[in-house]
Structure 1
Amino acid sequence: MASITLNHLVKKYGDGFPAVNDVSLDIADGEFIILVGPSGCGKSTLLRMIVGLEDITSGDLLINGERVNDKAPRDRNLAMVFQNYALYPHLTVYENIAFPLRLNKGKYKEEQVKKLVTDAAATLELTDHLERKPANLSGGQRQRVAMGRAIVRQADAFLFDEPLSNLDAKLRGQMRSEIAQMQRRLGTTSVYVTHDQTEAMTLGDRVAVLKKGVLQQVASPRELYEQPVNLFVAGFIGSPSMNFLPATLENNVLKTAVGDIRIPEEKAAKAAGKKVVLVGIRPEFFEDASLVEESKLHHGSTFTAPITHTEWLGNEQYGYIHFDPTPEVRELLDSLARDMDADELRPQVVVTLDAASRIRGGRDAELWLDTRKVHLFDPETGENLTRDADAGARLTEEANAARAEEIAAARDEVPAAS
């Protein structure tokens, strides 16, 4: 196992453009960390720098405290799982998994090779497929073979480069679960690159969000979701994404295009002096006011807004509110969309409603908003003015403590927590 330390890593290409720009990150022994961001943000480049497939322009890369900038990939003892599986079509599953062991001629006896391969196959439920060729396997099975090849190497860390992007949605869900369980059983340090935030939120102990080569925030998935450091992280993490509404603040009331929203005094104080703020509201912060328990009403604000249409999903439904942005706000939304690699951010608010709600499109609806949870952003800098750094740190500390117990249990140091 290994700890991996990135100290001010920079990667510049011939034109001087920094694909990775001053990234510092400490990855603990046994940690599962996710690198996430839109296309072109530098996450795959950073992964390739760790494994040694990209030169480091400046900064230091340490594995277990040893500087490895100049070490060849084969000398770093890292195992990489690629997007395209990189399997040999003429070899059986057994020989594909055994291939890295065969490269070390004389190091492993045939009995050792057999034990390592069969153990890996059992871990990945490939025992019944060892004599098959890759062409006869499903996409999920091929990906498991690629992971088996990484396991038998007994590497210090696993590096995953968007390993599930070639699979359909159902298989991706299954493979996410398998990768998570495998990593917990093995307790191996893992760095996983994805642009899929569902993978990021469900797999990682911590998630590192990148934008244009710059690290924006590193935290547990829950801290990223509940206490984002800026507008970009808030908009990138979550599905449906956070709603952004321009507002002016008068006393403790936000004047928005969909209605007046009264917020707690302590939140309003953090935006004092700002003429305009962007209000960040997750869809689930809303509820149909008629279904809200009376004891909760005083924790929020009730307002009326026109619902253009609804989408019923069985367990819940989404309602949509459109608004007309000013040219300045339209420009801000377009800029944020470009940052997040999206075509556009529509001037609309998405609200999550209970499946039992009778709110329907084409009419006004009375909505309740939990104003304790809204965020206020500076539209010029993108800074989250209402972020509670201490509360966010506690969320990540809780996640780290729970993870440490899991790793200890996986290594048979202590019994698993109930």
Structure 2
Amino acid sequence: MSSIELNNLVKKYGDGFPAINDVSIDIPDGEFIILVGPSGSGKSTLLRMIVGLEDITSGDLMINGQRVNEKAPRDRNLAMVFQNYALYPHLTVFENIAFPLRLNKHKLSEDEIRDRVNRAAATLELTEHLDRKPGNLSGGQRQRVAMGRAIVRQADAFLFDEPLSNLDAKLRGQMRTEIAQMQRRLGITSVYVTHDQTEAMTLGDRVAVLKRGVLQQVASPRELYEQPVNLFVAGFIGSPSMNFLPAEIDGTVARTPLGDWEIPAEKAEKGRGRGVVMLGVRPEAFEDAAFADAALKQHGSEFSAELTHTEWLGNEQYGYLTFEPEEGVRKVLDELAKDLDADELNVQVVVSLDANSRLKGGKTGTIWVDTRRVHLFDPETGENLTRDAEEGARLTQEAAEDRAEEIAQAKERDAKAAQAVG
């Protein structure tokens, strides 16, 4: 196992364009870190720089405290899991997993190779498939074979390049769980690239958000969600994403296209005197006023709005509202859409409603919003004016403690299972 340090990494191509621009991240031993961002953000390039498939223009890449900028990929002892599996179709599952061991310059005996392969196969529930060819396996099984090949190498770290993107939704969910459990059992440092929100939010100890080669924020999924550092992170993290409305702060009232909302004084203070700010609020901060808890209503505001349509999902439903932005606000939203790799941002507000709410498209209803959960952003710089850095740090620290406890429990379970077998 290994720690990885990225110190001011820069990657420039022939035209001088910085695909990676001054990125610094410390990845401690055993951490599972996710690299996310829209297409062209540099996440895959950064992963390839770590493994040695892309040269580093400037900065230092440290593995276990040693600078490895000039080391060949085979000398970094890192295991890469590709999205297309990279399996040899003519070899059996056993031989595919054993392949890196047979290439090892420190030759292993056949007994050692067989032992490592069998242990990896047992971990990944592949034992009964060892004599089969990859073409006869499902997508999920082929992905596990690729992971088995990484495990047997006893590498210092795993690097995953969108490993689940070729699988259907149901299988992605299953494999996501398997990868998370495997990483907990092995406690191995892992760097994982994805564009999938669910993978990023459920797998990682921390998530690093990139935009056009520049690191925006590194934090636990919960800190990113609840305390985003800027408009881009707030808009990128979460599905449905955060709603953005123009607002002017008058005392403790936010004047928005959907009505006047009373907001906490400490938040209002951050936006007062700035003219128009962007107010961000997530869908779950809303509710059909008829279903809002009476005790909570004192912490928010109600407004009337006509819904364009609703989506009922069984355990919940979403309602959709629209508003007409001024030209300056439209420009901010268009720029954010480009950053998020979208053609445009729909000028709408998504509100979460109780599954039993009877609000429907074309109807005007009363909506309640918990204004304690709003954020105010500077429309020019994108800065989150109301971010609570201390609360964010606490959320990430809690996540680290929970993760350490999970890994310790997983190791304890494996030790007890090994004793029972012995």
TM-score range, shorter chain: over 0.9
Within 5 A, what are the aligned runs for 1:272-287?
A: 272-287=272-287
CA-CA distance at 1:247 after TM superposition: 1.2
Residue of structure 2 equivalent to 1:217: 217
Change (3 A) 1:106 1:302: closer
C-alpha distance in 1, partners of 2:220/2:338?
A: 25
Aligned residue type for 1:393: A
Residue of structure 2 equivalent to 1:47: 47
Verify the 8 A CA contact 2:224 2:234 in the aligned structure 1: yes
Residue of structure 1 equivalent to 2:330: 330
SS in 1 for 2:303: strand
Change (3 A) 1:270 1:105: closer
Taking structure 2 as the reference length, what is the TM-score of the superposition? 0.97
Residue of structure 2 equivalent to 1:306: 306
C-alpha distance in 2, partners of 1:106/1:192?
A: 28
SS in 1 for 2:345: coil
Verify the 8 A CA contact 2:29 2:188 in the aligned structure 1: yes
Verify the 8 A CA contact 1:319 1:353 in the aligned structure 2: yes
Q: CA-atom RMSD, angstroms?
A: 1.4
CA-CA distance at 1:412 after TM superposition: 4.7
Residue of structure 1 equivalent to 2:265: 265
Verify the 8 A CA contact 2:310 2:361 in the aligned structure 1: yes
C-alpha distance in 1, partners of 2:323/2:41?
A: 31
Aligned residue type for 2:107: K
Instruction: Please list the CA deviations of residues 40-87 of structure 1 after superposition, one character each: whole Å capped at 9, or x if unmatched.
Output: 101111001100111100000000101111111111000000011000
Aligned residue type for 2:252: N
Aligned residue type for 1:95: E
Within 5 A, what are the aligned runs for 1:143-222?
A: 143-222=143-222
Change (3 A) 1:29 1:345: same
Change (3 A) 1:85 1:282: same
Verify the 8 A CA contact 1:9 1:59 in the aligned structure 2: yes
CA-CA distance at 1:253 after TM superposition: 1.3
C-alpha distance in 2, partners of 1:257/1:166?
A: 42
SS in 1 for 2:406: helix
Aligned residue type for 1:160: F
SS in 2 for 1:125: coil
Verify the 8 A CA contact 1:408 1:414 in the aligned structure 2: no
C-alpha distance in 2, partners of 1:104/1:226?
A: 46
Aligned residue type for 2:61: L
C-alpha distance in 2, partners of 1:414/1:217?
A: 35
Quick one: percent identity of the two aligned structures?
A: 76
CA-CA distance at 1:406 after TM superposition: 2.6
C-alpha distance in 2, partners of 1:95/1:29?
A: 30
CA-CA distance at 1:405 after TM superposition: 2.2
Within 5 A, what are the aligned runs for 1:11-30?
A: 11-30=11-30
Verify the 8 A CA contact 1:13 1:19 in the aligned structure 2: yes
CA-CA distance at 1:104 after TM superposition: 1.7
C-alpha distance in 2, partners of 1:402/1:50?
A: 27
CA-CA distance at 1:33 after TM superposition: 0.2
CA-CA distance at 1:409 after TM superposition: 3.8
Verify the 8 A CA contact 2:249 2:273 in the aligned structure 1: no
Residue of structure 2 equivalent to 1:320: 320
C-alpha distance in 2, partners of 1:160/1:73?
A: 15
Q: Where does structure 1 differ by over 6 angstroms across 4 or more consecutive aligned residues?
A: 413-416
Verify the 8 A CA contact 2:51 2:78 in the aligned structure 1: yes
CA-CA distance at 1:299 after TM superposition: 1.0
Instruction: Please list the CA deviations of residues 135-163 of structure 1 after superposition, one character each: whole Å capped at 9, or x if unmatched.
Output: 11111111100000000000000000011
Verify the 8 A CA contact 1:34 1:204 in the aligned structure 2: yes
Aligned residue type for 1:16: G
Instruction: Please list the CA deviations of residues 193-249 of structure 1 after superposition, one character each: whole Å capped at 9, or x if unmatched.
Output: 011111100000000000000000000000000000000000000000000001111
Residue of structure 2 equivalent to 1:98: 98
Residue of structure 2 equivalent to 1:345: 345
Residue of structure 2 equivalent to 1:357: 357
C-alpha distance in 2, partners of 1:193/1:355?
A: 34
C-alpha distance in 2, partners of 1:389/1:414?
A: 38
Verify the 8 A CA contact 2:78 2:158 in the aligned structure 1: yes
Question: Are 1:290 and 2:290 an aligned pair?
Answer: yes
CA-CA distance at 1:326 after TM superposition: 1.4
SS in 2 for 1:90: coil
CA-CA distance at 1:397 after TM superposition: 0.4
Aligned residue type for 1:90: H
SS in 1 for 2:86: coil
Residue of structure 2 equivalent to 1:378: 378
Instruction: Please list the CA deviations of residues 74-132 of structure 1 after superposition, one character each: whole Å capped at 9, or x if unmatched.
Output: 11000000011000000000000000001125621111111110111111111111111
Verify the 8 A CA contact 2:201 2:221 in the aligned structure 1: yes
Within 5 A, what are the aligned runs for 1:17-96?
A: 17-96=17-96
C-alpha distance in 2, partners of 1:5/1:296?
A: 45
C-alpha distance in 2, partners of 1:130/1:105?
A: 24
CA-CA distance at 1:343 after TM superposition: 2.0
Change (3 A) 1:332 1:286: same
SS in 1 for 2:166: coil
Verify the 8 A CA contact 2:250 2:272 in the aligned structure 1: no
Change (3 A) 1:412 1:68: farther
CA-CA distance at 1:328 after TM superposition: 1.6
| Unmatched tracts of structure 1, length 5 or more | none
Aligned residue type for 1:40: G
Verify the 8 A CA contact 1:310 1:317 in the aligned structure 2: yes
Verify the 8 A CA contact 2:162 2:192 in the aligned structure 1: yes
Aligned residue type for 1:38: P
SS in 2 for 1:247: strand
C-alpha distance in 2, partners of 1:40/1:242?
A: 22
SS in 2 for 1:112: helix
Taking structure 1 as the reference length, what is the TM-score of the superposition? 0.97
C-alpha distance in 2, partners of 1:397/1:414?
A: 26
| Unmatched tracts of structure 2, length 5 or more | 417-422
